[in-house]
Structure 1
Amino acid sequence: MTSDLDIPVLVGDGGETYRETVRFEGRVVELFVHTPSGLADLFAADVRARRGVLQSMYATGLVLADRDGAAGRARALAETDLRAGPPPLDPATVETTRYGLTDALDDLVDAADRAERLAVAGSVFDAAANLLLDHHRAWTGTGKWLPRRLLQADPRRGAALIDGHLRVGASGEPAWLAEAASEVLALTGGPLREGYRRTWQGAIESIAAAGR
């Protein structure tokens, strides 16, 4: 098994909050060491990022030791955050993502080069996933967690996006992904071209990064 083992460790307020990778008996282990105040800060950051990664770790993990009830209190806080769900994307971000997805869908269908089509498919998948998860006020994720969160939030539409993305990689055919992403776009306000305007705010916005 090559996947690492994630172990949160709670220490007192006089300690330090940090993350460390070690190897134990041949297994890679990720230690997430938190003070109570450090954990509260990280929980708040994960909520703002709409990911809820640490909350999921604390809410679903196996408690190995809990001498003073700290693990139980941390689990309760994590469960409260997860039940509340992530904050919604602000309207400007939704609009920007819709505009970017509309443009990327055109590129996906028009791309003659297979490598370019595959690259564009990644942007389409990410943007549609962000819109769909926001529509359901569901937690997002990166890497292996993104398809998992999609299937949890919307089994049918999430599966369609995943299947469409896989088909682009396997055969180069974009039709299934384009159809799945277009359905998500229609669900979240529809395509956006004419009428879109965004005032420069000092940062370049990316449809792939929206909401992360």
Structure 2
Amino acid sequence: MLDSNKLAPLTAAQKFIESYYPYCDGALLAGSVVRGEATKTSDLDIVIFDKTYQSSYRESLVEYDWRIEVFAHNLDSYLEFFESDYKRARPSLPRMVSEGIVLKDNGIIDSIKREAKELLNRGPEVWSIEVINTKRYFITDAVDDFIGCADNAEEIFIANTLAELVSEFVLRTNNRWIGTSKWIIRSLKEYDINFAERFVKAFGLYYKSGSKKEVINLVDETLKPYGGRLFDRFSVGKK
């Protein structure tokens, strides 16, 4: 829930642009306040486009009682970020641009938004068989460590790694974007709400009770269509 004593997000963002970036070519308000998911700790994510900037930059400020994150670009630098986000399969900037509410536009925003939406709709690069097998190997290594570990402190961090590896594997083998932190579960929900609920249930049960069974079953069912766990005869770089 937002703080009722603050300026409304859109009002604060517009005032911020007028004060700090009055000569920019375009600006967008993005993030949780745009998606209707804002909490009392949410900030304002603002994307700036200005043809006079020599390079992109990021800056954090506090204004109008809001924490504000600025992502500033010239009319070329954002394309480098689009490409980088595409290659890592985490479309942070394209998502912000696509969903962003226009704060200012000198006639450039429509084309940039179109580029962002086309990238998002295209999805990430398809994994090769070699990449899938490498990911199977690392998941196998992690789940074996998880099964055999008797140290609770170590086990927690192995489980964390396993959750990230499994979520990445499920999403990428289904040509879906991935994320980090809260975007892991958001990405899973966008892909398959039932799988996301099972994923949360399995790891939640482990964290609450120490029971590993559901996590192990989830891992094995995830890997099964691709040949299951992989260790024997796996190699990288052998010539």
TM-score in terms of structure 2 length:
0.78
What is the identity percentage for the equivalent residue pairs of Structure 1 and Structure 2? 27
**126-135 vs 90-99, which deviates more?**
90-99
Q: Which residue of 1 aligns with 2:152?
A: 114
1:14 & 1:6 partners in 2: Cα distance? 19
How far does residue 13 in structure 1 lie from its aligned partner after superposition?
Answer: 4.9
2:226 & 2:99 partners in 1: Cα distance? 31
Q: Which residue of 2 aligns with 1:59?
A: 98
Q: Which has more radius of gyration?
A: 2
Count of aligned positions? 200
Q: Which residue of 1 aligns with 2:182?
A: 144
Q: Which residue of 2 aligns with 1:206?
A: none
1:24 & 1:65 partners in 2: Cα distance? 19
1:92 aligns with 2:135: no
Whether contact under 8 Å (2:61, 2:68) holds in the other structure is: yes
How far does residue 187 in structure 1 lie from its aligned partner after superposition?
Answer: 3.0
1:188 & 1:58 partners in 2: Cα distance? 35
Structure 1 vs Structure 2 CA RMSD: 1.8
Q: Counterpart of 1:152 in 2: which secondary structure?
A: helix
Match for residue 2 of structure 1 among 25, 35, 41: 41
Match for residue 11 of structure 1 among 50, 59, 83: 50
- The superposition leaves residues 176-202 of structure 1 with CA deviations (integer Å, 9 ceiling, x where unpaired) of 11111221111333211212111279x
Whether contact under 8 Å (1:117, 1:172) holds in the other structure is: no
Whether contact under 8 Å (1:22, 1:29) holds in the other structure is: yes
Consecutive unaligned residues in structure 1, runs of 5 or more: 202-212
- The superposition leaves residues 88-137 of structure 1 with CA deviations (integer Å, 9 ceiling, x where unpaired) of 23433321210111122122222222222211111211111111011110
- One-letter code aligned to 2:220: S
Match runs of 1:128-207 below 5 Å: 128-199=166-237
Higher relative contact order (CA 8 A, sep 6+): 1
